[in-house]
Structure 1
């Protein structure tokens, strides 16, 4: 297709005289060129859709002759600014048939290693906060019908509302479907439960299409990964979501469950010399605290416990506890 041929197709679109074949050719050209130059033309899919709708609506308005001249200039600028390499690819007589070409989906992965946390934006503007030892996979560009990501670990989501594009988070054990809301998913592979906590809005959670439950704010769905059964409970959001504000909270928590949290949070290994001390329970709230500070607090309260660093990332807790 030459530049003149493209202009002719645009004129025919204005006049509503495109054949189905010509319309398909024009749409195919737009898609291929913009897929290869999207970063330089549109901010995102929503922006692209709005601009496209606006342009074609104006083309069909009463000021058609004036708009026609403007559109011809826009078309010419678009053709000139598209990279020569992309244009050469499309215009080349040796290119593969467009019927055999499928747009390549580029998958991205963001990871927060143990001891670190990350906050970033998804392509639609939604915000994700990843907890330590977590990763998320998502397409570079969401398609027009759905926004889907895959999570391993724990993350808090603030989803940009778009009723035409449901947002789905998949883990190895369940999926969560939303339109626009904020929620937390805890889905570490080494833990027995997958937990979904809703902060605002409304979401559905399930393991298949016929097994979905609805959550309201300040409620939690807990999936037992062994028996595939859900339980629901009301929770204190401040306590449950304190991790995203750099706060570690232990409410009469046993060392058996507190130690895995500390290991993920600080990227360390903690060994109990006396296995019976796993039942020791303690309470504490630690905001942006160091591991040493937390261990000092635990052993201050539980005076029969002691700790020592074997290496910089390996700790041993010895002693016993009578609670």
Structure 2
């Protein structure tokens, strides 16, 4: 399709452009990035259309947005409005009915966007109307935030934009794990809040792992520079290829003692260690980021930690019949393998048994 003559309203209604804005289709993302590179004079138009779409979309995922679109169409049909219809009074103007319909929708979109922009200036954002991005167990999502920052959300995770994000105050709250590639904006620092730390960046790529049921939380820096503020008052600055590991204090029976190499961390809130990122010698893969490429990797990790990772990865529940199994350590590298196959390979390293009680429950035993 030739997009040269398209206006912002036309782009908003294009399915490929919508997928580009939402970050749900790699082919669409690649096409629109290449199209802008080939037509730099159209970048402002594309960005204007993107802002319009994001305002209309409000951070909804594709399924919810499609449902809303169906309701909108059904409401039009209920009022007797169909594509191709024209006002009977307008006899002198002869034009294709679908073009008339498209112009009407475009005008409606423009008016709605202007109304929303005006409302944003006067009505403060609240927690209830800010976008929330969420993934279920066994599901990973990639998308782009309104400021252009790219995010990959790992399984069983939630990312909530804080009030004011659209107005230059780039703050959000994460529960779970996400990889961020931040759009640089010196005037508006990017701040991620978790239960155990706040991370401030200006423009960088990094990973944050902050699941509530893990014994540690981690920040792994790929490029740039970040500052981590912890409740106890410590301020830590990370350099590229470093990760910060913070120990948690919990009474949960699912949380095992810290591994020996982390013994220098106090087993209390605020205890931490700075490590290098973990690389796999065979292909230089970074363990902390392997999930972004849909690769399941663990390096000398306890079975208890691995079980939690497998639960999120495959959307199952894992139960230990024998507690000693939790202390077993494994190293493994898997690419698109089934859970059954992963467990079979692990059995080659240490003896244990497993059985599937149903599609969602796995029992581990000796």
TM-score category, normalised to shorter length: 0.5 to 0.7
Tell me the residue number matched to 1:146: 169
Quote how far apart the aligned CAs of 1:189 are: 1.0
Q: Is residue 283 of structure 2 the alignment partner of residue 236 of structure 1?
A: no
Question: Of 107, 115, 123, which aligns to 2:130?
Answer: 107
Tell me the residue number matched to 1:286: 334
Question: Of 126, 138, 148, which aligns to 1:125?
Answer: 148
Q: Deviations over 1:117-166 (max 9, x none)?
A: 11011001111111111010015873444211110000000001111111
Tell me the residue number matched to 2:203: 180
Q: Deviations over 1:147-187 (max 9, x none)?
A: 11110000000001111111011111211000110000011
Q: Which moved more, 1:309-318 or 1:205-214?
A: 205-214
Q: Deviations over 1:22-42 (max 9, x none)?
A: xxxxxxxxxxxxxxxxx9966
Tell me the residue number matched to 1:310: 357
Q: Distance in 1 between matches of 2:204 and 2:297?
A: 25
Larger radius of gyration: 1
Tell me the residue number matched to 2:111: 83
Q: Deviations over 1:176-207 (max 9, x none)?
A: 00011000001111123221110010110112
Q: Is residue 72 of structure 2 the alignment partner of residue 44 of structure 1?
A: no
* Count of residue pairs brought into register by the alignment: 237
Q: Distance in 2 between matches of 1:162 and 1:183?
A: 16
Kindly report structure 1 stretches of 4+ aligned residues shifted beyond 4 Å: 39-42, 79-82, 84-87
Q: Distance in 1 between matches of 2:208 and 2:274?
A: 14
Task: Name stretches of at least 5 consecutive residues in structure 1 with no aligned partner.
Answer: 1-38, 46-78, 91-97
Q: Distance in 1 between matches of 2:124 and 2:326?
A: 53
Paired residue secondary structure (1:297)? helix
Q: Is residue 271 of structure 2 the alignment partner of residue 224 of structure 1?
A: no
Q: Distance in 1 between matches of 2:231 and 2:213?
A: 22
Q: Distance in 2 between matches of 1:236 and 1:143?
A: 36
Task: Name stretches of at least 5 consecutive residues in structure 2 with no aligned partner.
Answer: 1-45, 53-106, 250-268, 280-285
Tell me the residue number matched to 1:273: 321
2:232 touches 2:270 (CA, 8 Å); kept in 1?
no
**How large is the RMSD of aligned CA atoms in angstroms?**
3.1
Q: Distance in 1 between matches of 2:300 and 2:122?
A: 59
2:134 touches 2:159 (CA, 8 Å); kept in 1?
yes
Could you state the TM-score of these two structures normalised by the residue count of structure 2? Answer: 0.58
CA pair 308-178 structure 1, distance change in 2 beyond 3 A: same
CA pair 146-272 structure 1, distance change in 2 beyond 3 A: same
Q: Distance in 1 between matches of 2:131 and 2:341?
A: 37
Q: Which has the higher strand share?
A: 1
